[in-house]
């Protein structure tokens, strides 16, 4: 693959990302109104789907070798 072809692909990807960022930004501007107009069940499903992007996922804590396993204080 020539350098020109690679350069064109990089340019196309950058342009696509730019367009997608604009679309997402515009949709976020309309999100409150969109949510307001949705059925409660659909609204809840959407919020649940978006939740991982707004809040970190909790991970299960575990003990490692050498740590006390009795947590009574």
In this predicted structure, the answer to whether residue 68 has a pLDDT above a threshold of 90 is: no
Residue 36 is inside which H or E element, if any?
A: helix 3-37
Give 14-66 pLDDT, tens digit per residue. 999 999 999 999 998 999 999 999 999 999 999 999 898 888 878 777 767 76
Rounded Cα distance between 64 and 71, Å, is 14
Indicate the pLDDT class of residue 7, thresholds 50, 70 and 90. Answer: confident
* C-beta separation of 13 from 5 below 8 A: no
Structure tokens at 9: 């692909």
Which pLDDT score, from 0 to 100, does residue 25 have? 94
Return d(Cα 13, Cα 23) in angstroms, integer: 15
Residue ranges covered by each domain of the chain: 21-51
């Amino acid at each position: 693959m020539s350098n020109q072809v690679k350069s064109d692909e990089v340019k196309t990807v950058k342009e696509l990302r730019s367009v997608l960022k604009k679309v997402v930004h515009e949709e976020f501007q309309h999100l409150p109104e969109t949510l307001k107009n949705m059925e409660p069940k659909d609204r809840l499903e959407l919020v649940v789907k978006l939740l991982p992007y707004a809040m970190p996922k909790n991970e299960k804590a575990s003990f490692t070798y050498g740590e006390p396993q009795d947590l009574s204080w």
